[in-house]
Structure 1
Amino acid sequence: MMTPYNVPRVKSGIPGLDDLIQGGFPEGTTILVTGPTGTGKTTFGIQFVYKGAELYNEPGVIVTLEERASDLRREMRSFGWDLRKYEEEGKIAIVDGVSSVVGLPSEEKFVLEDSLNVEGFLRYIYRVVKAINAKRVVIDSVPSIAIRLREEKNIREILLRLNTILLEMGVTTILTTEAEDPKRDKLSRYGVEEFVARGVILLDLVEKDVELKRYILIRKMRETKHSMKKYPFEITEEGVVVYPSGEIY
């Protein structure tokens, strides 16, 4: 009798989510987290890396292309997350991809130069991952990669190359992107991101009783049995919390 194939799982660090995806993300895969502005995509990604370091002793890299590293650290302290502590322990590395673009000096250890091309960008991410032996990566966000590299027309090729490198390194990665109108099935800014990623998670808002409520929908997750229902989630004082047994919209 054949033994069932068990896919190694990486705990998300997000309460309630792993119950919906057979215990965690498939190890070494790339997950796209998409949704409109203000739905918690950045928090979701940072939580994945932070909890990896805090709870599972898994080093992680945060590539921030929309906020300076110093601003990100300050914002995450509202959840009680001390990113600096794990940076000093070598468990988290933050890549500042903003300062050089806006012409501000940076005192960060890892800083993306303004003049990087695609190859330089990919090599730099590879080097930082290897520097701390990272197991987790979050890149926030895909549109910022395209704009920064001035390569919006070639974004599919860039994402394919990025995904190949990430898979070769064996890291589990979250990419964030904007969904202009998910209710009309426009799941991403460029319409290609969801085809490159092996998993797609949508964070969105729905009006209920004259109030906007957040919900999560797992649109795709390879090697995983998952529901296609919408589940409520909240951004609490301790980060993102999913309610798998809550009311389904």
Structure 2
Amino acid sequence: MAPHNVVRVKSGIPGLDDLIQGGFPQGTTVLVTGPTGTGKTTFGAQFVYKGAELYNEPGVIVTLEERVSDLRKEMRSFGWDFQKYEDEGKIALIDGVSSVAGLPSEERFVLEEGLNVEGFLRYIYRVIKAINVKRVLIDSVPSIAIRLREEKNIRELLLRLNTILLEMGVTTILTTEAEDPKRDKLSRYGVEEFIARGVILLDLVEKDIELKRYILIRKMRETKHPMKKYPFEITEEGIVVYPSGEIY
């Protein structure tokens, strides 16, 4: 049984908390993995946005795969007005793309070109402290390695990043690519799932001649959870998990 005194952080994703005893353990780093196009960025963005909207918990998104302006536009399709909470100081979006692409950025928070591991960690630490952040999304782990040109040292980087996040007491979602989840290859580098205290897989399964999305909680420390695949959908209002709709 999981401890009863664990403080839970609501995911903001309908149906998910029913599977993890009410939410993520506070201060946990959760790895959200899966093939391209399974909804990992939306999952993490929803966690941060709903934290600000529903629970008054400030959040940070470090976007390393798309420009902040594109992320805002994409998330607006779910009715999520990130700019509103940015203006209120409840959400900070860190642009980790523009400088690498050689593009100018008008964002308040921008990761500069040529940042090393130390600079990257220090910048994130500063932003988290600045708005008293409770929730963090880093999208994605492979893009950190590429951006910092430190792919060979990804294990050390992730360990240090995770240590900083744990010490600050924030609840974090890291996204990564699963090369072949069917064969238990849950992450690009094979180390991400070991530094995370939780691992959630988003994937697709063929059912009745069409592809269906499913979620599987592979690991969640301090939490009693099922090891089954459950359907989820990306609706007009974001991700919804169906705990009663077990696939198998």
Task: Give the equivalent residue in structure 2 for 1:144.
Answer: 143
Give the C-alpha shift of residue 6 in structure 1.
1.3
Once the two structures are superposed, residues 113-150 of structure 1 have per-residue CA deviations (whole angstroms, 9 ceiling, x without a partner) of 01100000000000000111000000000000001011
Which consecutive unaligned segments of at least 5 residues does structure 1 have?
A: none
8 Å Cα contact 2:228/2:246 also seen in 1: no
Deviations 1:203-240 (A, max 9, x none): 00000011000000000000000000000000000000
The 1-side partners of 2:200 and 2:4 are apart by: 24
The 2-side partners of 1:247 and 1:137 are apart by 29
Task: Note the C-alpha offset of 1:248.
Answer: 2.0
For residues 74-223 of structure 1, the aligned pairs below 5 Å read: 74-223=73-222
The alpha carbon displacement at 1:5 in A equals 4.0
| Letter paired with 1:100 | S
- What SS class does the counterpart of residue 99 from structure 1 fall into? coil
In 2, the alpha carbon distance for the partners of 1:238 and 1:226 equals: 25
In structure 1, C-alpha distance between the alignment counterparts of 2:112 and 2:125, rounded to whole Å: 15
CA distance in 2, matches of 1:232, 1:199: 19
CA distance in 1 between counterparts of 2:211 and 2:127 reads 39
TM-score (norm 2): 0.98
Amino acid at match of 1:192: V
What do the CA deviations read for 1:132-183 (whole angstroms, capped 9, x no partner)?
1000000000000001011111111100000000001100000000001000
CA distance in 1, matches of 2:242, 2:208: 19
Aligned position for 2:13: 14
Using the alignment, how far apart are the partners of 1:164 and 1:247 within structure 2? 35
Alignment of structure 1 residues 36-55 onto 2, 5 Å = 36-55=35-54
- 1:182 & 1:101 partners in 2: Cα distance? 30
| 2:247 equivalent in structure 1 | 248
For residues 226 and 246 of structure 2, what CA distance do their matches in structure 1 show?
A: 14
RMSD over aligned CA atoms reads 0.7
Q: CA deviation at 1:247?
A: 3.3
User: Hey, what does 1:236 align to over in structure 2?
Assistant: 235
Partners of 2:247 and 2:15 lie apart in 1 by: 14
Q: State which drifts further: 4-13 or 122-131.
A: 4-13
TM-score, reference length from structure 1: 0.98
One-letter identity of the residue aligned with 1:170: G
Secondary structure, counterpart of 1:223 in structure 2: coil
Which runs of no fewer than 5 residues in structure 2 stay unpaired? none
Percent identical pairs in the alignment equals 90
> Is the Cα–Cα contact under 8 Å of residues 9 and 26 in structure 2 kept in the other structure?
yes
Distance in 2 between residues matched to 1:109 and 1:131, nearest whole Å: 13
Instruction: Please give the alpha-carbon distance, in whole angstroms, between the structure 1 residues aligned to 2:56 and 2:85.
Output: 10
Query: What amino acid sits opposite 2:149 in the alignment?
Result: R
**Mapped partners of 1:247, 1:147: distance in 2:** 37
Letter in 2 for 1:10: V
1:31 and 2:14 correspond: no
